[in-house]
Chain A
């Protein structure tokens, strides 16, 4: 579905990604894992054409740098790590923009099915009661759920999420991950997400790519990638022991 081939990104002499290759197949949830500054968000930036890169990014065999932005939006939906809003748009107005790529005429913004998709997206993310509220009055978590609703309204073939549970409390973290897992199961589509929480990555990821200093350390099935040895080499601590110590606090 999504193929990343020999992706490299540099700003001047500073190399951020070096020869990164991996792929995502339908039905998979690929977790992109690695320490801060490893280049995880830059991978997403390059895929969304927000950073200049060398190498190839293919979606269903087509070079995505050659896709029209509206075609791209129907194929890949991207959720950014953080959202800053400057104007008092309503939640409904933000979510409605998710349908932008589907507008057929420059004079009409309405398409059959738009209202249903918007309503469902708001309902799934629990944002229906906030529909007419200004986004400036929302908490960080509610704002994140608003943009997740926009993404679901966009109805892409694949989701790319940069820290999807950023700002979310435990309950919404669980709900969001379960919602995304259900979305994959129901649609047979794929998800790629950057996560810092290794437990979430292990619990929900079917596959994983471990990145460090702009290079891929390991790529494959989640249980083969997120091993004590691999994680220890990248994070420079015994991650498994740390996880067990944390868990023991709750006994």
Chain B
């Protein structure tokens, strides 16, 4: 009898990559002004090889406005979806993601403080927000884990989720206070908390790419351990997984990746929750297959959500977080309803 493959096969990588690239091309071509595919590809090709821009093609719009934004969106989508998949496995809870843990809210608080008080690092755009978001994501994790450890020395997942929920509420209240007294900055903070990737550039894309390569590799390296956690924490310990160490390393990698994502895109809900869930339906729960697949599907979903946000009310732009939450919550209820009905 043939058994299910234990890892992601080459042809599966090719199929997922092809879909992601097709979505990327669509998102670069479509927008307030539609640009033909051939012109888009020519503009990108010519820029890479230093050739002069052909006449009639708005090379700067393609190469310096749309492409970096689409790249950022794809990388943030991949990161959030990867983090969600890892959290859902680690906590054996299909409703878990970075926001359930409280890390996203912690990162947001850091970013909001940096915007409200104008904390910047001269010369490097967004560096202040990014560093504050990462620091606060780490601090949140530290607080959540310390509290969880004090209450329950096995660091059981239920305790972590419960503390995560309470922590999120606490952080939201602090953010509301800061927003109330933020004066002129109020509008930009509120827009930022809804999630926005307009104005993204290549340095943003590079930051998130570097974070994804480093922390994504760490997370994917623990695929087998995540399988054991997804079956049960006790079972993971019984088969020989160093439960506390793996949990700590994965949580740190997830919080760092979320910190970087949040600093670039603001709070984007539901990607980390819904995409791993949907991907699991296609490739199964084995993390050696799920984690790579979730990155591709998260990237594709967020690019399409961003496209909808850009073109739906053109020339007005909907924040990407609003689109993902709107689509995500409907899809989520549908999934929840159908799986409950089937179960």
Contacts and interface: CB of A to CB of B under 8 A. Distances in A.
Interface of A: 48-52, 68-74, 77-78, 80, 83-90, 92-94, 96-98, 100-101, 103, 106, 109, 131-132, 136, 147, 150, 154
B230 A132 contact: no
Contacts of B343: 136
B6 interface: yes
Interface in B223-260: 224, 227-228, 230-232, 234-235, 237-243
Nearest to A151: B238
B230 A100 contact: no
A50 B237 contact: yes
Contacts of B221: 106
20 contacts: A50-B237, A69-B241, A71-B240, A80-B232, A83-B232, A84-B232, A85-B231, A87-B280, A89-B231, A89-B284, A90-B3, A92-B4, A97-B239, A98-B239, A100-B239, A100-B240, A101-B239, A109-B224, A131-B3, A132-B1
Contacts of A147: 235
Contacts of A69: 237, 240-243
Given A86-B230, A101-B240, 10 more contacts: A69-B241, A69-B242, A72-B240, A73-B238, A87-B285, A88-B285, A93-B6, A93-B227, A100-B239, A136-B343
Q: Tell me whether chain B's interface is mostly helix, strand or loop, or mixed.
A: loop
A77 B239 CA distance: 7
A49 B237 contact: yes
User: Which of B93, B221, B232, B343 is the most central at the interface, judged by chain A CB atoms within 10 Å of its CB?
Assistant: B232
Contacts of A88: 284-285
A106 B222 CA distance: 9
Nearest 10 Cβ contacts at the A-B interface? A73-B240, A101-B240, A87-B285, A70-B240, A100-B239, A78-B238, A69-B242, A69-B240, A97-B239, A92-B3
Contact of A48 (B3, B237, B241): B237
A80 B235 contact: yes
Contacts of A109: 6, 224
A98 B235 CA distance: 9
Contacts of B239: 73, 97-98, 100-101, 150, 154
Nearest to B94: A86
B286 interface: yes
B151 to A, nearest CB: 12
Contacts of A131: 1, 3
Interface in B64-79: none
Nearest to A100: B239
